[in-house]
Structure 1
Amino acid sequence: MRLDEMKIAVIGAGIGGLAVARALALRGADVTVFEQAPEIAEVGAGLQISPNGFAVLAALGLGDALRSVRGAAVHLCDYHGGEVLRLDLGRLTRAEYHFVHRADLIDLLAEGARAAGARFRLLQKVTDVGPGARPRVETASGAAFEADLVIGADGLHSVARTALNGITAPFFTRQVAWRALVPNAAGRGAEVRVHMGPLRHVVSYPLREGSLLNLVAVQERAAWTSESWSQTDDPQALRAAFNDFGAEVREMLAAVETVHLWGLFRHPVARVWQRGGVAILGDAAHPTLPFMAQGACMALEDAWVLADALSRAETVEAGLARYQVRREGRTRRVVEAASRNAWKYHLSFPPLRWAAHTALRAGGALAPERMIRQFDWIYAHDVTREAA
């Protein structure tokens, strides 16, 4: 099938939408990206781009331009500050592990999509998507846009997902997360630190040449919190929730001036990813809890595979069906792994926590290679080279 004869609409200018726009435009497709915001921008937050995600950026011709901190290690620490386990990222089969400011990645992908020929229509809130022989996008202004293919990269509250699957209700995991950026006053090196405490943990790592630290703090609690990245909170509430953590964490939290809070909800992986010339990717298809740091990487992988599957197929229908086959099993496995991971950081029964930390220390001392290679099924996978 010739992509240079296709007219494609992409809903959403996030990581997945921008990546698929570049991937398809590079193959000659006529791509239009619909974005409800007045500009292509992103709020301040950090991302971890592991080797599987970086492989896609490299294949899109953007790897060398990525503004990042090259990750060296992951440290698991007790909440009082003692080290439990150090994972050397240099031992990975492929050691391209990067800490990236989300806004920098968005800028890189947007510039890449434009350079490849994709067009952008801003201030376009999509209200309906119609699958069919000629799929369409409808906006809040009443305008309609027809295409050969509509791709929903419109996130957790995806209009395209609803068009394919109907409304599915998520459930609150009884966990909330704060995120903030603070100056890297202590000169922290290129490492992730995870401070693990009873029913809580704090993740921190450097961004922008080490000038900033990205903080994500997670707490288990019964009170429901909205699933919105734009909701702010009082920094004092964050500090109070972690006031029994060690000095390093308290010093980082003391520097927080602006903090966002959101509830962590588990959504089912979509049953239908494609139908009638409409496809979904990223969070629209498989929202992922943050406990494996794979949300952005899964969206990048989806984008590459969708473009690749279409370029190899004789029809749109065949290409989209192959896309779902290639992606569904892997993303389900990642979603399930992330959902299982939180309890490991939140052990509250002291003997159990001691036993778990002792086992981690022993594993790190006796089999450091094995400890890091347990993640090869995620990190060493390269969708740009997999059999189609």
Structure 2
Amino acid sequence: MRRIAIVGAGIGGLTAAIALTRRDAECVVVEQRPALGDEGTGIQISPNAAAELLDLGVRLDFAVPVAQRELRRWQDDRVLGRTDLGRYDVPYLTMPRGALIGALREAAGGSRIVLGRRCVAVRDDRTSAVLGFDDGTAGRFDAVIGADGLRSVVRGLTCSATPAHSGLAAGRAVLPRAAAGRFVDTDRVVVWLGPGRHCVTYPISHDHVNLVVVAPSARFDGWHPSVRGLIALAGRMRPRPLYDMPPLPVWHHGRVVLLGDAAHPILPFIAQGAAQAIEDAVTLADRLDFAGFQASRQERVRQVFAMSRAGLRVHHLPDGPEQRIRDRALAAARPDAHDWLYGHRIAAASRRRSDDTSSTRDARPSF
């Protein structure tokens, strides 16, 4: 049995533990935080990732299925474009992030999860991968997966690249759904686009909606009263800087491999950071060899990164000719415009369920 260390007990790391345990690996998940906090703010899990989680047996019955996303104009609340999120065989889900982490931890019950232990060094000595911890101890494993996010320690083994600040910050709040309903439809994802900033709402439970404002500062002067009403309802929000980094040219070194934000941190403009980490985790478990994993994922991640990075500009155009061209394009968008993104892993999960898994269980890893 292969013994694999996963550094980071976030969405990507826990998904990797679930998927690899199904491939008969022994997984040890190491997390520097002393507890996996009950983060109440929301997260969107699109069908491409929801299909994978459901296939892994992760319980998602607490999530909210959302059938529509609307893009609206900042000043007059006019709908610029709609996306039918209900056209896929698997629903588009929104939920509290902490609830998802809890469901993943429950599904990862076959793995050992060690909290409050900080990884400070990683090396590959050709016979094993060695993790060094802040208490001076070390552990040897057949392989190490770096799922330790934006400030990845494991990334330092493969390169010296670091994420860059986008110039924007995201403030988040959870609002009572009844109160938010005075300003916006609470049964869908709504995104207001405007000069230099945007605002997002979506339901995360029967009683609550999530609010996200992305801007250099929290000022939304002149915006539609619906947006200003939601921000006033939220009160003080603690902004967190947003970073990204072009996908690394190499995601692995010997017995060490990266996934999710450790390899390709993505801005949240198309809500794909967690989804791509989930896709990474399942693909890694399916492929078993690190070079093959990278080869199968790199082009898709590059496309998702490019689309998300484009949002940095396109979401925030000042009023003028370019903004009007964008708005006309949104209104004329084809119904299947997002099928390449949302439908991708649904097909892959379906194929995997229909196949005899013995071929992947018997495959030999490259590490």
TM-score (structure 2 length as normaliser)? 0.89
Seen in structure 2, the aligned counterparts of structure 1 residues 186 and 45 have a Cα distance that, compared at 3 Å, is: closer
1:194: which partner in 2?
A: 191
2:336: which partner in 1?
A: 373
The answer to whether the Cα contact below 8 Å between 1:41 and 1:107 also exists between their aligned partners in 2 is no
| Structure 1 residue 125 corresponds to structure 2 residue 118 | yes
SS of the aligned residue for 1:27 comes to coil
Aligned residue-pair number: 345
| Structure 1 residue 145 corresponds to structure 2 residue 131 | no
Between the aligned partners of 2:222 and 2:103, the Cα distance in structure 1 is 40
The answer to whether the Cα contact below 8 Å between 2:50 and 2:90 also exists between their aligned partners in 1 is no
After TM superposition, list the pairs within 5 Å mapping 1:49-68 onto structure 2. Answer: 49-62=45-58, 64-68=59-63
The answer to whether the Cα contact below 8 Å between 2:186 and 2:209 also exists between their aligned partners in 1 is no
Unmatched segments (≥5 aa) in structure 2: 353-359, 361-367
- Which shows bigger deviation, 34-43 or 99-108? 34-43
Question: 1:359 deviation in Å?
Answer: 4.1
Unmatched segments (≥5 aa) in structure 1: 222-236, 311-318, 365-369
The answer to whether the Cα contact below 8 Å between 1:182 and 1:214 also exists between their aligned partners in 2 is yes
The answer to whether the Cα contact below 8 Å between 1:10 and 1:33 also exists between their aligned partners in 2 is yes
> Given the alignment, which residue of 88, 105, 108 partners 1:113?
108
Between the aligned partners of 1:135 and 1:380, the Cα distance in structure 2 is 36
Whose helix proportion is higher, 1 or 2?
A: 1
Between the aligned partners of 1:66 and 1:13, the Cα distance in structure 2 is 21
Question: 1:172 deviation in Å?
Answer: 2.6
Letter matched to residue 158 of structure 1 = S
Between the aligned partners of 2:14 and 2:133, the Cα distance in structure 1 is 19
SS of the aligned residue for 1:9 comes to strand
Between the aligned partners of 1:42 and 1:330, the Cα distance in structure 2 is 31
| Structure 1 residue 158 corresponds to structure 2 residue 152 | yes
Question: 1:173 deviation in Å?
Answer: 2.3
1:233: which partner in 2?
A: none
| Structure 1 residue 206 corresponds to structure 2 residue 221 | no
Question: 1:386 deviation in Å?
Answer: 6.3
The answer to whether the Cα contact below 8 Å between 1:89 and 1:95 also exists between their aligned partners in 2 is no
1:314: which partner in 2?
A: none
2:357: which partner in 1?
A: none
Letter matched to residue 119 of structure 2 = V
Between the aligned partners of 1:276 and 1:120, the Cα distance in structure 2 is 24
Question: 1:376 deviation in Å?
Answer: 0.9
1:357: which partner in 2?
A: 327
CA RMSD, 1 decimal: 1.9
The answer to whether the Cα contact below 8 Å between 1:201 and 1:218 also exists between their aligned partners in 2 is yes
> Given the alignment, which residue of 55, 66, 71 partners 1:71?
66
Between the aligned partners of 2:252 and 2:351, the Cα distance in structure 1 is 21
The answer to whether the Cα contact below 8 Å between 2:52 and 2:349 also exists between their aligned partners in 1 is yes
The answer to whether the Cα contact below 8 Å between 1:8 and 1:148 also exists between their aligned partners in 2 is yes
SS of the aligned residue for 1:163 comes to helix
SS of the aligned residue for 1:373 comes to coil
| Structure 1 residue 135 corresponds to structure 2 residue 129 | yes
The answer to whether the Cα contact below 8 Å between 2:63 and 2:205 also exists between their aligned partners in 1 is yes
Q: After superposition, what is the alpha-carbon deviation per residue over 1:71-109, rounded to whole angstroms, capped at 9, x for unaligned?
A: 11111111121222222222x343510112110110000
After TM superposition, list the pairs within 5 Å mapping 1:282-321 onto structure 2. Answer: 282-310=260-288, 319-321=289-291
1:82: which partner in 2?
A: 78
- Which shows bigger deviation, 11-20 or 197-206? 197-206
Q: After superposition, what is the alpha-carbon deviation per residue over 1:204-239, rounded to whole angstroms, capped at 9, x for unaligned?
A: 111112x112111112x4xxxxxxxxxxxxxxx62x
Question: 1:46 deviation in Å?
Answer: 1.3
Seen in structure 2, the aligned counterparts of structure 1 residues 104 and 243 have a Cα distance that, compared at 3 Å, is: same
Letter matched to residue 195 of structure 1 = W
| Structure 1 residue 343 corresponds to structure 2 residue 313 | yes
Stretches (4+) displaced over 6 A: none
Q: After superposition, what is the alpha-carbon deviation per residue over 1:116-135, rounded to whole angstroms, capped at 9, x for unaligned?
A: x1011111010011123210
Between the aligned partners of 2:63 and 2:325, the Cα distance in structure 1 is 36
TM-score (structure 1 length as normaliser)? 0.84
